[in-house]
Amino acid sequence: MKKVLYLFSFLLVIALCMQCKPKTTEVSQNVLTPEEVAQGWKLLFDGQTFNGWRNFGADTLVGWTIDSGNMLALGLGGDHANDIITQDEFENFELSLEWKTSPGGNSGIFFNAVEDTSIKAIYEIAPEYQIVDDLGFPQKLENRQKAAACYAMYVADSTKPLKPVGEYNVSKIVVNNGHVEHWLNGAKVVEYTMWTPEWDSLKMAGKWKDFPLYGIAHKGHIGLQDHGLKTWFRNIKIHTL
């Protein structure tokens, strides 16, 4: 009888301990922490609607959907037909967001985007933080075309901590009086200054020589690229400097 009581007591203690064990909770998405609110961060995506966004050069928003708390670029619009921008413009800021792309995917984050009737696509005018599947992209990529680079301008550090396709990466762009930093998963991977002789030289030596308005704006919209395959974005937030 005593053995039975001891066994019952032992099992009861285990059951009580399991109940007392803290439960693991999922991290809330598309919300600001109290600390971020105090620091002046602002959400650019509420996880449920496209409030505050529209297609570049249009008053509508097509080619995207909401998918489990993500902005999802459907990749159906051809060459940048469905790129989107914020309604608001920004000058000096810290932008943070999470993204993942499809195998072979290609997308990007634009800043200082302005709309001009002489251009056809956002990339002709706005610098781009490149998003791409470095390993699985079907064509050969130059270093300035790889993930986290300033597309066709500045190369990202070769030791960048890029996560495998299908996993979320955290990207951050800091722009302060023309000085720009690209961050990837907590590491600074690119640093440059716009509107300098070096900036102008790189611009004229490559793709942008045919796009005279590229990179000249000192403020503008934040943009996200829709470029052929599905790409997901969440936790999009900005802090004005």
Could you read off the pLDDT of 57-110 as tens digits, one per residue? 999 999 999 999 999 999 886 667 899 999 999 999 999 999 999 999 999 999
Q: Name the residue ranges covered by the structural domains of the chain.
A: 34-240
User: Among the listed ranges 9-18, 25-34, 144-153, 210-219, which one has the minimum average pLDDT value?
Assistant: 9-18
The CATH H-level superfamily of 34-240 is: Exo-inulinase; domain 1 (2.60.120.560)
Please provide the DSSP assignment of 64-123 as one string. Answer: EEEETTEEEE---SSSSTT-EEEEEEESSEEEEEEEEE-TT-EEEEEEEE---TT-SSGG
